[in-house]
Structure 1
Amino acid sequence: MSGAVSWIYLDVGLDTCTQGHDCQHICINNGSSYICKCQGGYVLNADQKTCSRSDACTQGHECQHVCLKNGDSYYCMCHEGYVLNADQNTCSRSNTCAQGHDCQHICVKNGDSHLCTCHDGYVLNGDQKMCSRKNLNLTLTFEMHVVVLIHVLMVMIASICVNSDKSYICMCRVGYVLNPDKKTCSRKKPRSSDTCAQGHDCQHICVSTDDSFVCKCRMGYVLNADQKTCSRKNSDLYKRHDVFATVF
């Protein structure tokens, strides 16, 4: 034959990686060729040669809301309106009152936000944050309205309403006394000129006072501790007194 044939003999024991490769990290023989791999914490790029630091979030994570890469690891964050729980993975709806608020008196959680309320005796201002003391002269309670109605019906004969700090008290006009309900008035009962005549439990003598009576004893007797009954005085003392009087 006029032409020579060239034979190429493949040495199956040849280390292709030592013949030169373009792996960024690690070259591994693979028969008549080689493959590239990456060091720990890195992943092989689409070109199958170069490597990039691995994203732990894409490899799988336990974050309930948001996974953020952090070097070779990751950490979790929560969506707005939520806070990260102690397990550093799950999230709970945040309490906006606990996170800080601008209510002057009381903060009440309301969904993802909050609203302000006031202590008793105060009303919320137009800014929905600050509180002002109620005007008791204008803001009457139901009970005060009842008192006012009684005033009108009675032509203001008996009851008088008086402001007292955060509340009010009722008083009565001359000739009336305040009832146990502390709101209504009743006309005073005429005082008897002789309370003793109405009945008493004095053993000896009854003496009328303004609206009551007191008990007294006849001569030679003393009033007992019950302020009603009487006992004879010590006769020996009286005898000595008589003797002393006779001598002088």
Structure 2
Amino acid sequence: RCGPRCVAVAQDLRWEERRCEAPADGFLCEFNYGDSCPKLRAPAALGVTYATPFGARGSDFLVLPPGSTAHVEGLGLELHCAETGGGGRLRWGHEAPGAWACELDNGGCDAECRDKDGRPRCSCQPEKWLGADGRSCVSPCAEAPCEHLCVPDGTAFHCMCHTGYELAADGSSCQDVDDCATNPGICDQECVNTEGGFKCRCHSGYEMVEEHCRPVPHCRKAHCAHVCEDVPGGYRCHCFNGYTVHPQHATQCVLHCNRSECLAECDPHAEESCECPEGFVLDDREGGLKFCVDINECDMNYCEQNCTNHPGGYACHCDAGYVPLDQHRCKKVDDEEETYSGDAEPSTEAPVPTRTPPKAGRLHPGVLVGITVGIVSTVLVLLALVCHLVKRHCSSPSSMDYKCSGSAEKEMGLHQVTPACASSSQKL
């Protein structure tokens, strides 16, 4: 709600205090202009009064719209706010050419106003001259047709162009220079001309580094856990001290110890959080030290025959005459198979005969009879032997012992046990 007293704009454009219920004298219109004339710089004794096109009069205006007038009583002078020249700029002036008193807004001069022979005169900077109104300074480039740059030369001018352009045949317009054609080899690989310049590009697999094409590092697309090294045609991952490259994942690193024991990798913020490489066990020592100690897998009888322990693992080997069946077991080499070391793979090449085998021929009837008699005799002998064994039937061995010849190599042997049907003093 309004208070008991309000302010309003009176008809003479002054603020006045009234009751809020009193009717207003009218309304104000807002005018917008692209440019305006500033208040004239003048001593107070000259008494400048302004009048606007919409009827407002006074001496307190800061800026005035086009069409305004300024009446200077002390000089008997009337000035108008209007455009001068072809630039659309508003300034104070009057129809008569030349300067007015220098004490009033510098006599209307663009540059310097001087009283010469009792009359005010305007002067301009070098390479400029007075315009037709006698107050504005005109440059030879003011009306020049130069597209880019104009350089005054006395009362004349010269047109110039920005870098990457050259002056056309008409002497005023500018046209693009094909830098790629005029400067071959300006780029390492590819040159693309642009308006007013050029761009350098690199082939696939290269990138721009300090304005030169360099091969894109292979390590940029690698995912090495620790350190990546660029090598011809690719990259190689390395690990920090105490780590080694993962045997199945070449970009990953795992803890590694190449001795029987190493210091454990512990989190400095959690004393109990320590890690050891695979094949090692954590061991607490005096003074709070924690070591990773190698596990001797050979003591666990993983290998069927021979075992060699190494830091973080072990390897099984077979005796002469045996070949590996899997990682831990061995099998005997058949008579037809070639004997080889347990660490090597058997040859898969078929043996070549040293001489051509004889051709098979038809057997003589007498030979067939002899073979038949031999088979029958063998069968009879086997039957007699079976009968004899049945009569002397006894139980099979009931126990089996294992013995190890050393910590590095292991053997398995059978100790014969006395049969149950024999006497206690009899050894088999």
Asked if these proteins are the same fold (TM beyond 0.5), I'd say no
TM-score (norm 1): 0.31
Query: Larger relative CO (CA 8 A, sep 6+): 1 or 2?
Result: 1
TM-score (norm 2): 0.21
